[in-house]
Amino acid sequence: MAVSGALLVLFLFAHAAGNLKIFVGETDFDHYAEWLRELGTPLLPHAWFLWIQRVGLLVAIGLHIWAAAALTIRARKARPVKYAHRPKVQGSYAARTMRWGGVIIVLFVIWHILDLTLGTVNPAGGDSVPSARVVEGFAPDRWYVTLFYVLAVVAVGFHLRHGIWSAARTMGQQTIKGERRAKAIALTLSVILVAMYLSVPIAVMTGLVG
């Protein structure tokens, strides 16, 4: 859970940083997308870096889901008779929404790839330049898509708020002072990441970009 999650968090930050390129200019954003395909050349053939990264991500996601499913199955087996009276778990909202939050994030990632990577469900289509897919995808009349995007990004934020701290604990973080620090770092990183991701659709919606 911790190791695969850490890899995915690293990717999320790299992806978010790339997104911000759109504020430099739409052509710069398209150049960045092209650069991703040229990364590693001539050592690697065209787009190989991207595919290696995609395979790596799929493995990390697979391991992450496998570990989560194993934990969920064990939890179900460990309490076959439920409590008649069970108040909300006293831990954080983030901690108790890890499982369903994770499912929502997976569904979002599928939509996100169809929308902005493949362009299948994007008004600009698959043959368009990446910046066109962003600008047309988050156009004001597609507000429901943007809303889904915002909710999913916030879900990622909650997921990481518990996830980053929990990963630190799994790797052996064990002091009370360190626990406070790890929780603060998890919250800060989550807020920064959510802000980075939300800035793009908000900029398109308000006409700052496009």
Partner 1 sequence: MDIKVRVWRQPGPSAAGKMVTYDVKGISPDASFLEMIDVLNETLILDGDDPIAFDHDCREGICGMCSMVVNGVAHGPEKATTVCQLHMRKFSDGDVIDVEPWRAAAFPVIKDLVVDRSAFDQIIQAGGYITAPTGTAPDAHATPVPKKDADAAFEAATCIGCGACVAACPNGSSMLFTAAKIAHLGLMPQGQPERDSRVIDMLQAQDDAGFGGCTNAGECTTVCPKGIPLSLIGRLNSDYRKAISKN
Q: Does 165 bind partner 1 (CB under 8 A)?
A: yes
Residues 65-94 contacting partner 1, CB under 8 A: 70-71, 74-75, 77-87, 89-92
Q: How far apart are the two ends of the chain, measured CA to CA in Å?
A: 39
Q: Does 43 bind partner 1 (CB under 8 A)?
A: no
Asked whether the beta carbons of 17 and 76 are under 8 A apart, the reply is no
How many residues touch partner 1 under the rule CB under 8 A: the total is: 36
Q: Does 185 bind partner 1 (CB under 8 A)?
A: no
55-69 burial, b at 16+ Cβ within 10 Å, e below that, comes to: eebeebbebbeeebe
Q: Does 151 bind partner 1 (CB under 8 A)?
A: no
Among 24, 103, 151, 171, binds partner 1 (CB under 8 A): 171
Q: Three-state DSSP class for 208?
A: coil
Among 31, 37, 112, 169, binds partner 1 (CB under 8 A): 169
| CA 76 from centroid of its chain's CA atoms | 27
Question: Which is closer to partner 1, CB of 27 or CB of 72?
Answer: 72
Q: Output the six-digit token pair for 208.
A: 């700052």
Rounded Cα distance between 103 and 166, Å, is 18
Question: Which is closer to partner 1, CB of 82 or CB of 207?
Answer: 82
Residues 94-133 contacting partner 1, CB under 8 A: 95-96, 98
Question: Which is closer to partner 1, CB of 155 or CB of 203?
Answer: 155
Which amino acid, 32?
Answer: Y
147 φ/ψ sector (left φ>0, alpha ψ -120 to 50, else beta): alpha
Positions that interact with partner 1 (CB under 8 A): 70-71, 74-75, 77-87, 89-92, 95-96, 98, 162, 165-166, 168-176, 178-179
